[in-house]
């Protein structure tokens, strides 16, 4: 019974979520994403219009065609809209990397301008999977806050591990003084 409950919870959490959107329905300033690696993670960007997306990659902030943004190997991934302003419970019951509780605070033109500015100056910083990834970039363009639901739990765990390590080292030092 417990195994059934665990499998059911994981099936709910790992199911594809977010509204699939067609290119003709996109609006400049939309925060979009695609599932990658068989749905293990999501890749995010800001749609800037006329078939182009600005997103953060390992090589920096890039502007690419929507078609290229959707490609993974020989496959084209479905585009989805990222949801802002989700209620706390809905956020925790939804697959990470697809939504946030943060409100949308910027107008679409402001979002596009911020993405263009960060692209022109390649000024979002070096890509880091946990602390500075494509979801951080797109969320920052939309809200002014660097946020990534995909990596928040990992980041919090790493912080706790660091705190425990520091506490343990202090404990050891006090024992040998």
pLDDT in tens, 96-144: 667 676 788 899 999 999 999 999 998 999 998 888 999 999 999 999 9
Residues spanned by the domain of 77 = 2-175
Q: How many domains does the chain have?
A: 1
In DSSP terms, 76 is beta-bridged to 71
Across 23-32, 76-85, 154-163, the highest mean pLDDT is recorded for: 23-32
- CATH code of residue 104: 3.90.1720.10
pLDDT of residue 72: 87
Cα separation, 11 vs 96, whole angstroms: 13
Across the chain, how many H-helices and E-strands are there?
A: 6, 8
Q: Is the model more confident about 34 or about 169?
A: 34
Please report, in angstroms and rounded to a whole number, the separation of the first and last CA atoms in the chain.
Answer: 52
In DSSP terms, 41 is beta-bridged to 36
* Mean pLDDT for the chain overall: 81
pLDDT surpassing 80 at residue 161: no
């Amino acid at each position: 019974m417990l195994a059934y409950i665990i499998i059911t919870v994981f099936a709910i959490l790992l199911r594809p979520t977010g509204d699939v959107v067609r290119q003709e329905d996109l609006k400049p300033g939309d925060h979009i994403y695609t599932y990658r690696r068989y749905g293990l993670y999501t890749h995010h960007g800001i749609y800037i219009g006329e078939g182009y997306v600005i997103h953060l990659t390992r090589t920096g902030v890039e502007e690419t065609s929507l078609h290229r943004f959707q490609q993974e190997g020989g496959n084209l991934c479905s585009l989805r809209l990222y949801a802002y302003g989700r209620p706390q419970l809905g956020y925790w019951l939804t697959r990470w990397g697809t939504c946030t509780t943060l409100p949308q605070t910027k107008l679409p033109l402001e979002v596009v301008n911020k993405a263009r500015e960060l692209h022109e100056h390649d000024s979002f910083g070096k890509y880091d999977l946990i602390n500075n990834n494509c979801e951080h970039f797109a969320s920052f363009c939309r809200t002014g806050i660097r946020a990534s639901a995909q990596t928040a739990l990992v980041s919090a765990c790493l912080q706790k591990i660091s705190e425990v390590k520091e506490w343990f080292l202090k404990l050891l030092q006090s024992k040998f003084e």
